[in-house]
């Protein structure tokens, strides 16, 4: 029987990743450059230092651009887009079902805690989560398993007892390396990625009601 659920944050609860990429692509276009998806993918779900889009833009354009100015400009455009953002389909229903079923839910995310808490508060869903494990809580973020192992420990459960809901290859690898059953729910951007060694892939969390999903998982696990 599944005893806990661990959500990724970016791209699973809110489609911040697609917005982030689209905004950065718009900025590249303004300077006559192109941001390759395969290079951006290095940042998705894991450590943002894996690829610096500002340095890459500066190198592509050969312009004397100011990195801090680019960051401020991008932040303003991003926040404008996020103002109209909504929870991804099926997220609220899944959280409500978990609460009714007395199944604890946590977050394991490579993002900073402050940002996660602010957005959860904005959408009035922070109380659904027992624990939030963020980049400040571990030495190694995804694709390393540390975030998931920390979340499982805080929930006083074993990896076999929980499921992970992810959207990126880095996140999926982190969950699987923690020996957790991983469900991929890709967003508009990560649908273009190739996923390997995952247990189940859904188009959205609306595809299966949580009780049906957990029944399926329990059957597959032999419970």
Catalytic machinery residues: 8, 10
- Output the CA–CA distances (angstroms, integers) from residue 167 to 26, 101, 148, 222, in the order listed: 23, 24, 15, 25
Between helices 53-61 and 67-82, what is the axis angle to 10°?
120
Rounded-to-integer distance, Cα 11 and Cα 213, Å = 20
Quote the distance between the C-alpha of residue 216 and its chain's center.
23
Rounded-to-integer distance, Cα 35 and Cα 39, Å = 8
Between helices 146-154 and 169-177, what is the axis angle to 10°?
60
């Amino acid at each position: 029987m599944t005893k806990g659920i661990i959500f990724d944050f970016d791209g699973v609860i809110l489609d911040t990743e697609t917005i982030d990429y689209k905004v950065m692509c718009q900025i590249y276009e303004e300077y006559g450059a192109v941001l390759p998806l395969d290079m951006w993918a290095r940042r998705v779900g894991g450590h943002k230092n894996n690829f610096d889009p500002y340095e890459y833009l500066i190198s592509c354009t050969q312009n004397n651009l100011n990195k801090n100015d680019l960051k401020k400009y991008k932040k303003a455009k991003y926040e404008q887009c996020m103002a109209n953002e909504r929870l991804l389909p099926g997220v609220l229903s899944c959280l409500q079902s978990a609460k009714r079923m007395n199944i604890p839910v946590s977050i394991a995310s490579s993002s900073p805690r402050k940002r996660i808490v602010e957005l959860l508060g904005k959408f009035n869903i922070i109380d659904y989560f027992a624990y939030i494990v963020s980049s400040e809580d571990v030495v190694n973020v995804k694709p390393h398993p540390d975030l998931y192992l920390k979340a499982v420990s805080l929930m006083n459960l074993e990896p076999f007892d929980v499921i992970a809901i992810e959207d990126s290859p880095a996140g999926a690898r982190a969950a699987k390396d923690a020996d957790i059953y991983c469900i991929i729910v890709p967003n508009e951007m990560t649908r273009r990625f190739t996923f390997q060694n995952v247990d189940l892939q859904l188009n959205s969390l609306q595809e299966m009601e949580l009780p049906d999903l957990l029944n399926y998982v329990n059957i597959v696990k032999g419970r």
